[in-house]
Amino acid sequence: MLSLEHIALTALSVVLLVFSAIVHEVAHGYVAHLCGDDTAKEAGRLTLNPARHLDPFGSIVLPIVMGIMGGFVFSYAKPVPYNPYRLKNRRRDEVLVALAGPASNLLQALVGAAAFNGLWALVEANPQLYFSGPLVLGMNAMELLLTVFSSYVWVNLMLAFFNLIPLPPLDGSKVVCYFLKGEVLERYYQVQRYAMPILIFVLYILPRLGFDPLGVYLNACVGNLYNLLLGM
């Protein structure tokens, strides 16, 4: 039976994930704007107002269900629209727009790590802070804040490196296309047609068969960088 604490922590993770995904999408639109495409601006999407970005299923229902079930938690906001034909230099700028999302998540992870490390230094100087105050979800205020910031770092690192996977609709696919030409590019476009089934297969079926390449990739990138940023 699920505990109230587990449900509450899952909800907290979903809130952090959704906020981070919104910043991710706004970053795409803002860089497109800097590169000459005002599609996102004209659509009113260069804002952090959740109402402009939330997808009822992808932003709320899906991550909550996945979080309660355990394992990999995935969330998405409505993609910010952009028109590649309005970009100043389409070939170059499409890559910049694609990388803006993961870059925003890495920046958020750095901000979260700075906050976590600052609080931890305060706790080390005043250990009583860690054990004082009323309990919320079984934790006092300082412990809860440390949990929030460490989770924020983890969520953003996951979003950054997951979105760099070279399968559409993930950002890594646009980056890969920049380096491919001719027949190789055409073959890549053919593979893209099956991107979603491939992604589902890699995410959920392969691990059940004892082979988890995505898990290895995320552990190597996210796990090591998380430990480095938080001094673990």
pLDDT tens, position by position, 206-217: 878 888 888 889
Q: Which of 5, 25, 42, 143 is catalytic?
A: 25
pLDDT digit string, tens, across residues 14-72: 889 889 999 999 999 999 999 999 999 999 999 999 888 888 877 777 777 776 666 56
- Determine which helix (DSSP H) or strand (DSSP E) holds 186, and give its type and residue range: helix 182-192
Q: How far apart are CA 12 and CA 49, in angstroms?
A: 18
Measure CA 117 to chain center. 21
Residues with Cβ < 8 Å from 11, sequence gap 6 or more?
64
DSSP state of 207: G
Q: What is the pTM of this model?
A: 0.87
What DSSP designation does 89 have? S
What are the residues whose beta carbons fall under 8 Å from the beta carbon of 191, sequence distance 6 or more?
A: 198
Backbone dihedral angles phi then psi of residue 136, each to the nearest 5 degrees = -130, 120
pLDDT of residue 128: 81
Tell me which DSSP letter residue 169 carries. T
Active site annotation includes 143? no
Cβ-count burial 82-104 (b if 16+ within 10 Å, e if not)? beeeebeeeeebbbbbbbbbbbb
Q: Quick check: bond before 81 cis, omega within 30? A: no
